[in-house]
Chain A
Amino acid sequence: MHARTPARTGFLLTAPLLAFLLLAYVVPFLGVVQWSITLPEPGFSQYRKLATDPLALSVLVRTLRICALVTVAATAAAYAIAYVWVRGTPVQRRLAELCILIPFWISVLTRAFGWLALLSNRGLLNTWLQDLGILAEPLTLVRNEFGVIVGMTHFLIPFAVFPIVSAMRAVDGRVLLAARGLGASRLRVFWRIFVPMTFAGIVGAALIVFVFALGFFVTPAILGGGHSVMVAELVYLHMFQSPDWGLGAAISVMLLLVVGLLMLLLFRFARPAGLRASR
């Protein structure tokens, strides 16, 4: 017998959070949408500006370029360390786990600052290279696009590791042994069997990294130093530095639409792929 709890109870228990988010999140978001079509004057002028303004377009192109590079770099790096975390000896697995979890639990600010400490003009790397006489002048490694890509890749690797690890854990080790037994080389087993079997994890990781990177704010603001503005930082600038709230709101709305479409893609594509991988 499946006695059901009355629907009223479910309603009473779920209502507080639903009401809270409705009032504190959904309604104010509609307010942001309203800003985007009423400031400075009613109409869609801000959206037209977004589509035609050369500055906005260059920021968009830069954002997509950086996100693409970061996605490839972070996913590849995550795959390498996830492989050891899943298939290494117990000691290797513990070390890999620590190397992923320590950065994961440290705040985005501290990690961005770490890259400043390492790469800025008077940072560790430039000081050593100059002391050793390899460099006469410090290399400019932060406050530019390179710094942004490095910092974002660093931040996003742990997020890419988790889906890849769960895909790798689902691989039956006996399949790999069988392939070895049939005479395939280690390299061939890895590329022709292991990578295809974990492909769903790779796609999931890449989409997560790309979506996160699109809305990224703190790391580009610190490591880009204003020279490499991305979409999210553009919103901040329009809110607090050269106020144009309508434009900031319009960018936010567009960003949400793009991310929403990508999430739909994630569910459409990654779900069936996940099923294929586990079969």
Chain B
Amino acid sequence: MTGSRPGRAALTAAMVVATFLLLPLLAVVPISFTPARFLSMPKGSWSLVHYRELIDNPDWGRSVLLSLRIGVVSSLIATALATMFALGIWMARPRLSALLVGFVLLPMVVPPIVSAMTLYFLLTGLSQLTGLLGYDAWLGVVLAHVVMIVPFAVVLILVALAGVDRRIDLAARGFGATLTQRALRVILPNIRFGVLMAALLAFVLSWEEIGVTLFITSVNAITLPRLMWMGVHDNIDPAIAAVSVVLITLTTIALIGRMMLHRADA
């Protein structure tokens, strides 16, 4: 990159924006140490009572385990479906591929509230057939999450495939490889990093999904975001501050760690 560096005015503006972006994340830290049972600043005495609450109240642990389970299962299903779809588009290049890709990306661009209505309709309908896969059941949440996260997985895998040299596939074909061999032994190893990233992104999106989950769960399938929603929306519980501190810390560590790894690579 050549050209001049940002001047003082530009740096000041960027610093204002950066402060705006980080301030609410920092504000939860002191709130999480309040001894009071309502949202407030700790005055004089700091307390760990809300962190204890996270351990003592089994609801938190249960919802974390449920969110992990839903996240892992829906990420696996979504990644498998997305990988097959992307391979099909890449290998066969069907005539309408742009249209097909556009179609599977729909849940990503449709407003979440419309998707929520749609999936609410689906799951309440399925509940009439089986309780296992319907409204307020964990497998129902998996079904809904797969719909919501699969477009993101498709995008990441298509991007990975765009970097694969078609000639290696042609060579494999020339040597008589079958379709399965080409897909599993030639193409997949070349995009394994992209597939892994897709699975990771799909997991994170399911882990923090709330817009749709709110519509399709009530008392049984309480995921972590659902439990947090109850703590924020109905009455403000400072335990939410403690959870938030934990989540923010984990995210920050992961991002800084990734940045250091990248630097080590370069």
* Chain A interface (Cβ < 8 Å from any Cβ of B): 1, 3-7, 9-14, 16-18, 20-21, 24-25, 27-29, 31-32, 35, 77-78, 80-81, 83-84, 86-89, 92, 94-103, 105-118, 120, 122-124, 127, 154, 157, 173-174, 176-177, 180, 186, 189-190, 211, 214-215, 217-218, 221-222, 231-232, 235-236, 239, 248-249, 252-253, 255-256, 259, 263
Q: Does A109 contact B228, Cβ atoms closer than 8 Å?
A: yes
Chain A CB within 8 A of B3 CB:
yes
Render B73-105 as a binary contact track against A, CB cut-off 8 A, 1 for contact. Answer: 000000001101101110111100000100110
9 residue pairs, one from A and one from B, having the closest CB atoms: A215-B111, A10-B92, A13-B88, A114-B24, A173-B3, A107-B208, A173-B2, A118-B27, A14-B88
Interface residues of B in 228-266 (CB under 8 A from A): 228-229, 232-233, 236, 240-241, 243-244, 247-248, 251-252, 254-256, 259
Q: Does A239 contact B215, Cβ atoms closer than 8 Å?
A: yes
Q: Does B121 contact A32, Cβ atoms closer than 8 Å?
A: yes
Which residues of the partner chain A approach B139 to less than 8 Å between Cβ atoms? Answer: none
Closest CB-CB distance, B244 to chain A, in whole Å?
5
Give the CA-CA distance A163 to B5 in the complex, in Å.
21
Which residues of the partner chain B approach A78 to less than 8 Å between Cβ atoms? Answer: 17
Give the CA-CA distance A203 to B208 in the complex, in Å.
29
Give the CA-CA distance A114 to B247 in the complex, in Å.
12
Q: Which of A117, A174, A232 contacts B113 (CB 8 A)?
A: A232
Q: Contacts A106-B247, A109-B225, A235-B113 given; indicate if A96 touches B232 (C-beta within 8 A).
A: no
Which residues of the partner chain B approach A13 to less than 8 Å between Cβ atoms? Answer: 84-85, 87-88, 91-92
Which residues of the partner chain B approach A105 to less than 8 Å between Cβ atoms? Answer: 204, 251, 254-255
Q: Does A96 contact B18, Cβ atoms closer than 8 Å?
A: yes
User: Can you name 28 A-B residue pairings with CB atoms under 8 Å?
Assistant: A1-B170, A7-B92, A9-B179, A11-B94, A13-B92, A14-B88, A14-B89, A14-B100, A16-B81, A21-B150, A78-B17, A80-B17, A81-B18, A84-B10, A92-B6, A105-B204, A105-B255, A109-B208, A111-B25, A114-B24, A114-B25, A116-B236, A176-B3, A176-B4, A215-B113, A218-B210, A236-B215, A252-B114
Q: Does A21 contact B107, Cβ atoms closer than 8 Å?
A: yes
Give the CA-CA distance A111 to B208 in the complex, in Å.
12
Which residues of the partner chain A approach B38 to less than 8 Å between Cβ atoms? Answer: 122
Chain A CB within 8 A of B119 CB:
yes
Which residues of the partner chain B approach A174 to less than 8 Å between Cβ atoms? Answer: 2-3
* Contact-size category for B: 35 or more
Q: Does A123 contact B31, Cβ atoms closer than 8 Å?
A: yes
Q: Does A255 contact B84, Cβ atoms closer than 8 Å?
A: no
Give the CA-CA distance A30 to B95 in the complex, in Å.
27
Q: Does A252 contact B210, Cβ atoms closer than 8 Å?
A: no
Closest CB-CB distance, B190 to chain A, in whole Å?
16
Residue on B nearest A109 in the bound complex, by CB: B228
Q: Contacts A116-B236, A117-B24, A255-B111 given; indicate if A124 touches B122 (C-beta within 8 A).
A: no
Give the CA-CA distance A176 to B2 in the complex, in Å.
9
* Chain B interface (Cβ < 8 Å from any Cβ of A): 1-7, 10-11, 13-14, 16-18, 20-25, 27-28, 30-31, 38-41, 81-82, 84-85, 87-89, 91-94, 100, 103-104, 106-107, 109-122, 125, 143, 146-147, 150, 154, 170, 173, 179, 204, 208, 210-211, 214-215, 225, 228-229, 232-233, 236, 240-241, 243-244, 247-248, 251-252, 254-256, 259
Give the CA-CA distance A235 to B111 in the complex, in Å.
12
Which residues of the partner chain A approach B103 to less than 8 Å between Cβ atoms? Answer: 18, 21
Closest CB-CB distance, B157 to chain A, in whole Å?
11
Q: Does A235 contact B211, Cβ atoms closer than 8 Å?
A: no
Q: Contacts A29-B118, A117-B39, A122-B41 given; indicate if A87 touches B6 (C-beta within 8 A).
A: yes
Q: Does B111 contact A259, Cβ atoms closer than 8 Å?
A: yes
Closest CB-CB distance, A259 to chain B, in whole Å?
6
Please name 4 further chain A to chain B contacts, defined as beta carbons within 8 Å, in addition to the given A3-B170, A117-B39, A154-B24, sorted by A numbering: A13-B92, A17-B150, A222-B232, A248-B117
Residue on B nearest A94 in the bound complex, by CB: B259
Q: Does A255 contact B24, Cβ atoms closer than 8 Å?
A: no
Give the CA-CA distance A99 to B19 in the complex, in Å.
8
Which residues of the partner chain A approach B22 to less than 8 Å between Cβ atoms? Answer: 99, 102-103
Q: Does A81 contact B17, Cβ atoms closer than 8 Å?
A: yes
Greatest chain A CB density within 10 A among B11, B82, B113, B211 is at B113
Q: Which of B21, B122, B243 contacts A103 (CB 8 A)?
A: B21
Q: Contacts A87-B3, A118-B27 given; indicate if A108 touches B210 (C-beta within 8 A).
A: yes
